[in-house]
Amino acid sequence: MIELHQMLHGYKLGHNYVQGSILLPSSHDMDKIATLSDWSEFVDKDGERDYITAYPLFESSYYVIAKSWYADEMRRPGCVWTHSLLIQRNDLGKIIDYRQLLTLFKRPVDDEKDFSDYSKSIVLNETSIYLECKGYPGLTEAKVSELYAAMLSPQPVSILKETANAELQKLLLNLYNYLPTGMLWQRSFCSGTALPRSYEGQLLSLQFVTHDGGNVTYLSNKIPYNGSQLVAVSLLNEQKQLPELIRHFDAELGDDERRMRGFLEVVVLVNRVCKNEEEKRQVLLSILSQLSETFPQPTEGDDIKRSVLQPSLSKDLGGEENFLYTISTINVSSFTEEQIGYTKRLHDLSSEQFLSLLKRLYSSENMNEWGKQTVKNIDHFVNFPEIAWLRQNDRVFFQTIISSNTELLNQIAWAEFSKEELESALSIFSDKEVVKAFKHWKELFKTMLELKVPIARELARMVLSHDGECVNEYLTYINQEGHYPQLPVSKELESYPDAVLTWLSGVSYVTHEVAYVLMNSIDEDSPLVKNRGSKIWMPFANVLNEKDPIQYYVFLYILSFNWQDRDALSYLRKAFHPIHTLLAQDKLDYSLWYRIEPYTEHLFLTFWDKCKKMRKMVIRRLKDAGYPPTTVNHYTPDAQTNKWLINEW
């Protein structure tokens, strides 16, 4: 219930207070009521002399809407009766239809002496329905639109009165239904006056004058802007939704004309019927832009933003995917994710819709922070099985996804890839962030080996440096018949001799392929090799045969000098004969001789005899190990070589 106080002013030894339900403690406000309730000298062309005046009482927090009638019955000319209704400021938003107040105004009758009816407050039901109105036959959309724009204007406007008296009074009060109460509180009007009225030098906001004393506005019958036309259409057609909407957002609209105009433009855009997808896109952008311009701070217009940007909006403007793409690629500094329901709406998309959105975001050059977070947190919205099919159907998109999201990257089942798919996917490892985040190097490496995918040197370096078990994986793989080494990987094993030797110590045989890798990745006379002992090299020695290149034997020969045990001397024996044979034929490459010469005996006079230097070293090592002379009787398959060894012993 709303309590309205009332006052009656009229002739009482001058224009004065006659009766009322309240006396305000503010003498200033009482004086203002007395002044503005006096005659405005209004007489219209039809001879009508009643009019409405509305204005705020700032000190008392009441808003006055008053009706004045010329008092012909008074002997003194210029007398009026004015019935004022005082509405508490906090109740302004509770009045459903300001036109209801017209039914409350009461003019004293000519011979009335008892004014007690004005001494009681009036109780108004705030749930009262809108008044049914027969319209405004003398008004067009353009004129109503102009009047509303004038009422919104913070600058005083005086308009030459052309509209019928009763019609204008209803119209002005109806326009109050389209103002937020913060703005209404700042506005004042007079529906009829001879010249512009003012109080304490301040003109009323909007007044209708009968005389053009200068600075008077004539209605041009042109629509000022879309929002004012929206109000005019609503008002002339007695539509209730817009005034209810304005009241609903009353607090956020406040007293700011810019906000009100912006809000109306948003409503116009939301209700626009679009002909095609491009128009829908442009309307959505315009809505977001208008909201940002009207409420630039994220906390401003919170309820309005939440209400406007609901999923129901996107349904009419291209769908959720289009909406979320747009909101992810514009300046969103005026919004919060909660206002949009951004994360929830992403979750509500199907996996197909989300992936379609994601693909568009990847192609955009204007992704904002929200969009970037979406891309970063793809795994929050889809799982790997939902994107796995892309590796066959859209490889570039698939690679983009897994390289931008570490969770999905580490969910990949590499064993399910074909050779072609894997070769294509390996390009993601050119990204340092991908390399840093990736965890399953062993699984990836194993799949590359099994599919015989060529492994570049840089990729081999990444794999081995991130997972030491990949050394074992590689050597185990090529230690199977029919599996061949990849040179870039083998070269990288030079950096992991300890891991290589650990693997070697755990096997009982090696293939020629592994022997080749060992020979090329291990420094045969290094302290590490010596400390690991001779026994682990037995598989290497056992795999060699007469068909193997001499390089293998040179490696084995030098290797044997790390120890003086039985195994080492067996390596020496196996390597000696093929090397000695080539030396005797002068067919050993000098680079190989250069490697083994330090492991031959130094001779003073016959320094040039390479075979003899080598035999002398063999004999010295056998003697040092305590072997008898008979050891060399059948030391090699060649009798002549054995004879030389016997003679030199």
* Domain spans, the chain: 2-139+154-211, 383-431, 440-522, 542-649
pLDDT tens digit sequence for 388-427: 889 888 999 999 999 988 899 999 999 999 999 999 999 9
Map tokens 């230097």 to a residue: 613
pTM of the model: 0.77
Question: Residues with Cβ < 8 Å from 77, sequence gap 6 or more?
Answer: none
Q: Check if the beta carbon of residue 171 is closer than 8 Å to that of residue 147.
A: yes
3 state DSSP class of 492:
helix
Question: Residues with Cβ < 8 Å from 484, sequence gap 6 or more?
Answer: 478, 513
pLDDT tens digit sequence for 484-541: 999 999 999 999 999 999 999 999 999 999 999 999 999 999 999 999 999 999 999 9
Confidence of residue 232 (pLDDT cuts 50, 70, 90): very high
Looking at residue 246, its pLDDT comes to: 96
Compute the average pLDDT of residues 432-451: 95
Surface-to-core class of residue 43, CB atoms within 10 Å of its CB (0-12 exposed, 13-18 middle, 19+ buried): middle
Looking at residue 605, its pLDDT comes to: 63
Provide the token pair at 418.
């074909």
Q: Check if the beta carbon of residue 299 is closer than 8 Å to that of residue 338.
A: no
Extract long-range pairs of 474-479: CB within 8 Å, 24+ residues apart: 474/445, 474/449, 475/500, 475/503, 475/504, 475/514, 475/517, 476/503, 477/446, 477/449, 477/450, 478/511, 478/513, 478/514, 478/517, 479/507, 479/509, 479/510, 479/511, 479/513, 479/514
Q: Check if the beta carbon of residue 200 is closer than 8 Å to that of residue 99.
A: no
Measured CA to CA, the distance from residue 494 to residue 544 in angstroms comes to 22
Give, in degrees to the nearest 5, the angle at Cα 211 between 210 and 215. Answer: 115
Q: Which residue has the higher pLDDT, 214 or 367?
A: 367
3 state DSSP class of 238:
coil
DSSP-derived secondary structure letter, 440 = -
Confidence of residue 114 (pLDDT cuts 50, 70, 90): confident
Measured CA to CA, the distance from residue 518 to residue 539 in angstroms comes to 11
Checking if the pLDDT of 129 tops 60, the result is: no
Measured CA to CA, the distance from residue 5 to residue 29 in angstroms comes to 14
Checking if the pLDDT of 111 tops 90, the result is: no
Q: Check if the beta carbon of residue 231 is closer than 8 Å to that of residue 243.
A: no
Looking at residue 527, its pLDDT comes to: 95
Looking at residue 617, its pLDDT comes to: 92
Q: Check if the beta carbon of residue 335 is closer than 8 Å to that of residue 297.
A: no
Q: Which residue has the higher pLDDT, 649 or 182?
A: 182
Q: Check if the beta carbon of residue 195 is closer than 8 Å to that of residue 209.
A: yes
Parallel, antiparallel, or unpaired for β 206-209 and 189-193? parallel
Checking if the pLDDT of 278 tops 60, the result is: yes
